[in-house]
Amino acid sequence: MSTIFTKIIEGEIPSYKVAENDAFYAFLDINPNAKGHTLVVPKKEENKIFDLDEKSYLNLMQFSYRVAKAIEKTVPCERIGMTVIGLEVPHVHVHLIPLHTMDDATFSKKEKLSTEEFQTIANEIAKNLCLT
Ligand code: AMP
């Protein structure tokens, strides 16, 4: 059965997309630690990040780097944090989180955003993106 992230990538479930290429898809986390919290996902389903082959892992890091740069340009913050967990959704994803305080990195404090706020921030990150 497809993961929820595959359903998002295939457009069966809506998402606030910020970036896409042939191998990766980036979209806003629906329950963000902070405004601009983004997930970067390989289109090919794999459960655990270190089960990726080395080239796919490095490509994921490169794509995440580019998305992080765009988030940094868009969202005022101390820095962009990066973490990989995967205990909730068994489909590799990198969390890119604009950090203001340590709380933003803990996954205990959540930000409530309206549909309009999600859409606006996704559009702004997408505008600041340079994929090459
Ligand atoms: P984890 O697997 O523990 O790294 O966490 C999975 C993350 O995916 C959580 O931060 C969720 O808020 C996020 N998430 C789950 N479903 C969706 C969805 N439909 N759209 C966007 N983000 C989601």
SS (H, E, C) the chain: CCCHHHHHHCCCCCCCEEEECCCEEEEECCCCCCCCCEEEEECCCCCCHHHCCHHHHHHHHHHHHHHHHHHHHHCCCCEEEEECCCCCCCCCCEEEEEECCHHHHCCCCCCCCCHHHHHHHHHHHHHCCCCC
**Residue 60 belongs to a domain:** yes
Residues 52-69: what's their mean pLDDT?
98
**Residue 66 belongs to a domain:** yes
How many Cβ atoms sit within 10 Å of the Cβ of residue 3? 17
Q: How many domains is the chain built from?
A: 1
Tell which atom from ligand 1 comes closest to the C-alpha of 107: 10
Q: The domain spanning residue 103 has which CATH number?
A: 3.30.428.10
Tens digits of residue pLDDT in 70-118: 999 999 999 999 999 999 999 999 999 999 999 999 999 899 999 999 9
Q: Which domain holds residue 9?
A: 4-127
Pocket of ligand 1 (CB under 6 A): 4, 13, 15, 29-31, 39, 85-89
Tens digits of residue pLDDT in 35-58: 999 999 999 999 999 999 999 999
Q: Which two tokens stand for residue 121?
A: 């921030």
**Residue 132 belongs to a domain:** no
Confidence of residue 121 (pLDDT cuts 50, 70, 90): very high
Instruction: Output the residue whose Cα is nearest ligand 1's atom 13.
Output: 29
**Residue 35 belongs to a domain:** yes
Q: Which of these is catalytic: 91, 93, 95, 100?
A: 93
